[in-house]
A = this chain, B = another copy of it.
Amino acid sequence: MEEPKASRRDLTKAQNREVILTAARSVFAQMGFAKATVRDVIRATPLASGTFYNYFKSKEEVYQALRDEAALAIRPTLRQARLAAETQEEFLSSGFRTFFAFLQSRQDEGAVAEASRFRMDSPEVLAGFAELREDLEKAIARGVFAPVDAGLLTSCIVGMAFELAQQVKAGREVEDATRFATALVLGGINAAA
């Protein structure tokens, strides 16, 4: 039995971590990740500067933690949608739709006011790519998907998804992007088979 033993220590520890992450979200959104400093984050907090380093090694690690958080939040939903799919169309459209809707709902935080476009994939995000690949392979094995190179297809889907996400953030309808991406991949796969 893993007794959580929610001692006072463990509690404030979790709290402090969350306080820092929340402050970082706000600071990054406000002044942009590039310009923000560890000091800016900690100043938006009642904690002392040294305390920051008890929780994170750097600004980058905080950013990763935020990305990881988002990735872990959406991955189960994506998995479920894909595993439940009984057709290629369903597999693709539910995946794209879930992804776009998720990003749109968090538009505000992700909208880090950067000078130029910029993307950084944290380990959990990469793990999400691996999950998509696994799901694709399973779907192929189940006969739901035509047999194609899962690695290359994963890259294509991921690339399309992230790039189309920009358009969604710029005002495109989630359904438009979903329909287009789904049709493209679907048609391409069927043509290849």
A-side residues, CB < 8 A to B, are 34, 60, 64, 115-123, 126, 149, 151-153, 155-156, 158-164, 166-167, 172, 176-177, 180-181, 183-192
A164, A188, A191 pick with most chain B CB within 10 angstroms: A188
Shortest Cβ gap from A151 to chain B (Å):
7
Secondary structure at the A interface, as helix, strand, loop or mixed, is: helix
Within the oligomer, what is the number of copies of this chain? Answer: 2
- In Å, the complex CA distance between A16 and B8 comes to 60
- In Å, the complex CA distance between A155 and B156 comes to 11
Q: Is the CB–CB distance between A159 and B152 below 8 Å? A: no
- When distances are taken between beta carbons in the complex, the residues of chain B under 8 Å from A153 are 180, 184
- In Å, the complex CA distance between A163 and B94 comes to 21
- When distances are taken between beta carbons in the complex, the residues of chain B under 8 Å from A117 are 119-121, 126
Q: Is the CB–CB distance between A180 and B121 below 8 Å? A: no
Q: Is the CB–CB distance between A164 and B152 below 8 Å? A: yes
Q: Is the CB–CB distance between A115 and B163 below 8 Å? A: no
Q: Is the CB–CB distance between B189 and A184 below 8 Å? A: yes
Instruction: Write 11 A-B pairs (CB below 8 A) sorted by A numbering.
Output: A60-B115, A118-B119, A153-B180, A155-B160, A155-B166, A156-B160, A156-B181, A159-B163, A186-B188, A186-B191, A188-B188
Question: Contacts A116-B64, A187-B192, A189-B184 known; A155 to B164 CB distance under 8 Å?
Answer: yes
Q: Which residue of B lies closest to A154 (CB)?
A: B163
- In Å, the complex CA distance between A149 and B172 comes to 12
> Which one of B152, B155, B183 contacts A191 once the chains associate, using CB atoms below 8 Å?
B183
Shortest Cβ gap from A160 to chain B (Å):
5
Q: Is the CB–CB distance between A188 and B192 below 8 Å? A: no
- In Å, the complex CA distance between A190 and B192 comes to 12
